[in-house]
């Protein structure tokens, strides 16, 4: 080989080395990016989807309605007990019975 060929071979060797270094760096970058996307995928798998949220909201709404009904029932029962108490006091007075509470 002549000097020009050796110089060209050295340049190609230099370019090859630089390309290998760049490929190594790109491989590292790709691994980091892939790991990042894997973490994102895992996170998204654990997140609730819209159907899960709708189901949860439905359950909360159902519980809220039950509590409202229970509160209404307690108010009605309290009113009924008050009326019954008043009626018993009146009945006790009429028959001259001492009513203690």
Spell out the per-residue pLDDT of the chain, length 101, in tens: 667 666 667 777 777 888 888 888 888 888 988 898 888 888 877 777 788 888 989 999 998 888 888 888 888 899 999 999 999 999 988 998 887 77
Contact between 67 and 83 under an 8 Å Cβ cutoff? The reply is no
Residues 25, 15: Cα–Cα separation, whole Å: 15
pTM attached to this predicted model: 0.39
Q: Within the chain, what is the greatest distance between any pair of CA atoms?
A: 138
Tell me the two tokens of residue 40.
């994102």
């Amino acid at each position: 080989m002549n000097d020009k060929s050796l110089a060209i071979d050295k340049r190609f060797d230099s370019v090859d080395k630089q390309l290998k270094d760049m490929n190594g760096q790109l491989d590292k970058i790709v691994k980091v990016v892939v790991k990042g996307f894997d973490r994102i995928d895992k996170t998204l798998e654990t997140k609730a989807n819209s159907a899960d949220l709708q189901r949860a909201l439905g359950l909360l709404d159902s519980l809220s309605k039950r509590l409202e009904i229970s509160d209404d029932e307690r108010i009605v029962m309290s009113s009924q007990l008050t009326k019954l108490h008043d009626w018993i006091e009146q009945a006790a007075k009429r028959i001259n019975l001492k009513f203690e509470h």
